[in-house]
Structure 1
Amino acid sequence: MQLAWINRKTAPLDASLMGKGQWNSPYQMVIVFFAFFFPILFSNLLFLVLSENTAYLVCTLLGMAGIAAQPLWMRYLYRQVIRKKYDILTNLRDTR
């Protein structure tokens, strides 16, 4: 969802989006890299620093906080997309 208001180009439906980088923006690559590797690195760091039970408790509490905050960030993304709606539509039409 975060990429919905960052993306400025259209892509054919049958295109390989993660292939040779032709449709990827630098922001998309950073977001995907962060979303994939940060949780792994963070949980490994927790297990190195804390005991196993404490690390599991911290991960559980962070997960529950993320689930509870989901309506807030969805509302934020919705407002961003609506605010930039005409710019996004114009850019998507121009790249057809």
Structure 2
Amino acid sequence: MLDACAGKDRSVSTPSRDRSPAAVDLFERCTRVRCRPVAKLVLMVLALDVDERGAVRSSVATISHQSGYSLRAVQRGIQELERDGHLTRFHSRGRGAFTELHPRIGDA
């Protein structure tokens, strides 16, 4: 979709790789998580980029672009998801940070 005001392409781009049944299941579970809309969309965007080991390495800027939310809104969404136990962030030297998703369905 083209943003008429800014003249920028605001389409959500998803990786063009085939999804494993586990990745599809993860995304489906993310759609059923009960949380604020910003946090839910952040979780769903992260689920689209999970690798074969279950890790996500998307930057806040990438998530912001794909979701249409501001950088700060995405940061707050990630903090909420981490606080509520839906994801865990890991930081390691030389390998960068990554996120592991474990959506908790039915939790408020």
TM range, smaller chain: under 0.3
Looking at CA atoms only, which structure, 1 or 2, has the larger radius of gyration?
A: 1
Q: Hey, which of these two has a bigger chunk of strand by percent?
A: 2
What's the TM-score once normalised by structure 2's chain length?
0.24
Name the TM-score, length of structure 1 as normaliser: 0.26
